[in-house]
Structure 1
């Protein structure tokens, strides 16, 4: 059986370093067999890849790609708290925030970028409950932000 790490590598991806927090929080918290991530932005090498409102400055298709980057960052934070990506048993919940232009209602399609990646990496264990929420603005002007909740292998990470 292929592991999440193996599936990630097969996609030509690897977990990035966990982005440094942008304020007074930690990237992820583990309590028992659960991990909650903080909101993750589409940071690459510590820099925000794009800014703007989805449906105005940022296309929904581009935003879906940014949501995928957010998911990769969230998985990195969860994996760090769990003691490795392969210690994550299941992704339970994803909450995606989309900085939306007035009248934009395509938030679910944008957050599919994240959900699809999680499904590719975890298979059926990546099927999760989800919220896709439109907001007026996000930190640093980011078009998207993502957080997740995961169940991890028992024991210390």
Structure 2
């Protein structure tokens, strides 16, 4: 089953690509890899939540926000090469704006990882880093970037 069909089965539509907040591209392809810029939880052009995880934002809410970030990353990939060109998710890096003493970053980034597994099955299993940071752009609680492997065909 294609990734596009899995998304349909999950009742999820790929959003438009989130407009970059600076002088960079949402995604870049080199060879068989596509790297996305860090994606934040923007829904319909608006920040979905702000604050620090372990303070203003619960782990569960932050995991849902990480899922939105991963969806936005897939939108950037789709815009560049087409979602069905993805043959495997290689790496996920998640940044979590953390309240002092918070150490649950892996549980937050699990939201992105689980979502990618839902979309790509075993090909969605990946290497990962989950990093706690003091601040993120727009005061969002989480940011996610992905690296995916794609086949040679490019489709929009």
Is the shorter-chain TM-score for this pair beyond 0.5, marking a shared fold? yes
Name the structure 2 match of 1:137: 135
Structure 2 unaligned regions, length at least 5: none
RMSD: 0.8
* Whole-angstrom distance in 2 between the partners of 1:36 and 1:46: 22
Structure 1 unaligned regions, length at least 5: none
Q: What does the per-residue CA deviation read over 1:25-72, in whole Å, with 9 as the maximum and x for residues that have no partner? A: 110001121100000000001111110000000011000000000000
1:155, distance to aligned residue in structure 2 (A): 4.0
* Whole-angstrom distance in 2 between the partners of 1:99 and 1:136: 5
1:154, distance to aligned residue in structure 2 (A): 0.9
Give TM-score, length-normalised by structure 2: 0.97
1:104, distance to aligned residue in structure 2 (A): 0.3
* Whole-angstrom distance in 2 between the partners of 1:77 and 1:46: 15
1:130, distance to aligned residue in structure 2 (A): 0.2
Does 1:59 pair with 2:77? Answer: no
Size of the alignment, in residue pairs? 155
Name the structure 2 match of 1:102: 100
Name the structure 1 match of 2:152: 154
Give TM-score, length-normalised by structure 1: 0.96
Name the structure 2 match of 1:35: 34
Query: Which of 117, 120, 123 does residue 122 from structure 1 map onto?
Result: 120
* Structure 2 contact 85–154 (Cα < 8 Å) conserved: no
* Whole-angstrom distance in 1 between the partners of 2:42 and 2:86: 22
